[in-house]
């Protein structure tokens, strides 16, 4: 069992939002106001909880709680969906003694279905009574939809003033392409840090982790990443210690983002696509994302087929500026393309073993500059189709 950061309590309850008979409503509460950071989906069809959460982050520096339901996304539900989202916050506020504006909402599940407020009304009092009874794993399980396993991690950071604890939990296996990216995540810690610095740290860490992963290239309507820092440890971050805190946040978010790709619906591989030598950071990202989103590349990796021509074709259509004769491609450490020409290695013999591994490394050198980019993507197999074809049935 992971030790939670000081000053936080967790609760989960079975509300009946989902067909499965398990907990599907989760609550995180901080004893005191916590510095608030939030990163949200770029999808134009933002879900009601995203719109409400964005308003809270825009207008407030602190928050006290996060409430998350699975089963219904409350997306594409119009003004009624927003009203119902706010009604759920009012319910939680009354049951916990908090203010509604101190609570961040998150929802995941089927798009286009309204929340069942009767189920919420029945569940929330019990949820409040159970505060402190759930651990981090139970919290992560309660927010799952098609996830194969709960995603959570924790770490400690020893600083001059004492020890700071950080915990994180997330859900997501399909409709994953955070571009802030169904994906929900929360990170909470007990460090004392002002909201401005906390938001700067959180945004940079999100850009280097959650914004560099993809399962299927679909950016959800609901993607939300919330960070809370309540200072309950009593450890104030000194100026020279901010880089240490940022490294810890980056590391924790990176571990959880990896889990999202690892648990991609039907996925068997995590593709680590590293592009070097690009003319600009934007070009490096274009190449990495084009390769990572290519169905031909993804299915080849699923089939353990060292068809590097699919990688080269994706690089070539990415829109990045480079000369073909300068490109090098390595797969699992084996060079297959050098200066735009095949190396002449027996790929089936050399790569048969490496392609059986969970982690597949694809390295691309463009020879056009010094920019680079690392992107994580899943492969694409039969079970992805089965899972998503049957999602509502």
Domains of the chain: 11-262 (3.60.70.12), 270-389 (3.10.20.340)
Distance CA 277, CA 365 (A): 5
Mean pLDDT, rounded, of the chain = 90
pLDDT in tens, 215-272: 655 556 888 999 999 999 999 999 999 999 999 999 999 999 888 887 766 678 899 9
User: Measuring CA to CA, which residue among 273, 284, 274 is closest to residue 371?
Assistant: 284
- Grade residue 176 by pLDDT with cuts at 50, 70 and 90: very low
- pLDDT > 70: what percent of the chain? 91
pLDDT in tens, 61-99: 999 999 999 989 999 999 999 999 999 999 999 999 999
Residues classed as catalytic: 182
Distance CA 337, CA 334 (A): 9
H-type alpha helices, the chain: 48-59, 78-96, 117-129, 136-142, 195-208, 242-262, 281-293, 295-302, 308-316, 347-351, 382-389
β-bridge partners, 274 = 363, 374
pTM of the model: 0.84
Task: Look at residue 178 in the predicted model and tell me its pLDDT.
Answer: 47
What is the rounded average pLDDT of the residues 1-24?
89
């Amino acid at each position: 069992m992971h030790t939670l950061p000081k000053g936080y309590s967790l609760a989960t309850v079975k509300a009946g939002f989902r067909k499965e008979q398990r907990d599907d409503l989760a609550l995180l509460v901080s004893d005191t106001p916590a510095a608030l950071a939030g990163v949200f989906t770029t999808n134009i069809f933002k879900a009601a909880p995203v719109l409400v959460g964005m308003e809270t982050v825009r207008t407030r520096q602190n928050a006290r709680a996060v409430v998350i339901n699975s089963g219904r996304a409350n997306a594409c539900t119009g003004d009624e969906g927003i009203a119902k989202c706010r009604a759920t916050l009012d319910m939680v506020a009354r049951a916990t003694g908090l203010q509604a504006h101190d609570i961040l909402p998150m929802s995941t599940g089927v798009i286009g279905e309204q929340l069942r407020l009767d189920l919420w009304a029945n569940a929330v009092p019990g949820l409040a009574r159970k505060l402190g009874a759930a651990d981090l794993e139970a919290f992560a399980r309660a927010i799952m939809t098609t996830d194969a396993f709960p995603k959570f991690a924790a770490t400690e950071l020893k600083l001059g003033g004492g020890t700071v604890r950080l915990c994180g939990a997330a859900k997501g296996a399909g409709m994953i392409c955070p571009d802030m990216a169904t994906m929900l995540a929360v990170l909470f810690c007990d460090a004392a840090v002002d909201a401005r610095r906390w938001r700067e740290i959180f945004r940079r860490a999100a850009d280097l982790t959650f914004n560099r992963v993809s399962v299927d290239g679909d950016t959800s309507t609901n993607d939300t990443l919330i960070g809370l820092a309540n200072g309950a440890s009593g450890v104030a971050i000194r100026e020279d210690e901010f880089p240490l805190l940022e490294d810890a946040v980056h590391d924790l978010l990176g571990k959880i983002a990896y889990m999202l790709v690892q648990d991609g619906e039907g996925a068997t591989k995590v593709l680590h696509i590293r592009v070097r030598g690009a003319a600009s950071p934007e070009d490096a990202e274009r190449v990495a994302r084009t390769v990572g989103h290519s169905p031909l590349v993804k299915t080849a990796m699923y089939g353990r087929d060292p068809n590097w021509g699919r990688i080269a074709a994706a690089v070539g259509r990415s829109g990045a500026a480079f000369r073909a004769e300068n490109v090098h491609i390595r797969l699992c450490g084996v060079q297959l393309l050098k200066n735009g020409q095949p190396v002449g290695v027996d790929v089936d013999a050399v790569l048969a073993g490496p392609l059986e591994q969970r982690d597949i490394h694809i390295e691309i050198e463009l020879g056009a500059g010094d920019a680079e980019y690392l992107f994580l993507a899943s492969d694409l197999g039969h079970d992805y189709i089965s899972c998503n074809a049957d999602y509502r049935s």
